[in-house]
Amino acid sequence: MLAIFLDMETTGLDQSKHHAIDIAFTIVDVSTGKEILSYQTIIKHPLEIWLMHDPVSIEVNGYTFEAISKGKEVQVVKDEIIQLFIQAGIKRGSSCFICQNPGFDRSFFSQLVDVYTQETLNWPYHWLDLASMYYATVHRQLILDNKPFPTEFNLSKNAIAKSFGLPEEENRHIAMNGVNHLIACYRAVLGL
């Protein structure tokens, strides 16, 4: 099984008016742990798109208009993703996406590669989240240990990392930093 560990940075949280400005993914063969390939790029947008950004989101990821104006055009990014997924053998049934927040990432990913193209290429439609994996693992262990489930339970990626003695994700949220941190957390949660 191939897992596409993916993270995106955007101009805001609302996919109806905001856009992806940084995408990164690493494809891992989860049966062996071998990393197949990685990709990261900044995505170029015109000033009118940039001007609709959410200041809080930009404070988190630290991007500027100058930085994204040096990025790649959306069509180029789409073509590169398609080529890399074909090269890696990404297809439904033998691949899945893994993210921290798949609902968010999937909506912005679909701005780059529309859902009909994804469907035509038979790409996976399963987008799994690290928090659910962690939740299930902890819940199962509490049942085995005959312990009650806590009334409060933090499912942030940084909280998951902390529970395994891993460092938090770097403060400036760059997509590849998110991917690398996600993979480290995944390996810790599943004991790989």
End residue of a domain, out of 104, 128, 152 = 128
| 75 and 21 co-located in one domain | yes
Q: Are residues 42 and 91 in the same domain?
A: yes
pLDDT tens track for 117-154: 999 999 999 999 999 999 999 999 999 999 998 898 99
Whether residue 170 is found in the same domain as residue 75: no
Strand order, beta sheet including 95-99? 34-42, 20-29, 2-10, 95-99, 127-129
Distance (Å, rounded) from C-alpha 34 to C-alpha 20?
28
Indicate the residue among 105, 128, 151 that finishes a domain: 128
pLDDT single digits (tens) 42-86: 999 999 999 999 999 999 999 999 999 999 999 999 999 999 999
Looking at the fold, whether 74 and 13 belong to one and the same domain comes out as yes
Both 151 and 137 in one domain: the answer is yes
The confidence score (pLDDT) of residue 53 equals 96
Residue range of the domain that includes 36: 2-128
Same domain, 144 and 124: no
Number of domains in the chain: 2
d(CA 35, CA 167): 21
pTM comes to: 0.95
Q: Where are the beta strands (DSSP E) in the chain?
A: 2-10, 20-29, 34-42, 95-99, 127-129
Looking at the structure, do residues 101 and 136 belong to the same domain, yes or no?
no
Distance CA 11, CA 125 (A): 24
Q: What are the angstrom distances between the C-alpha of 95 and each of 4, 28, 86, 126, 128?
A: 7, 10, 12, 8, 11
Q: 56: part of which helix (H) or strand (E)?
A: helix 55-61
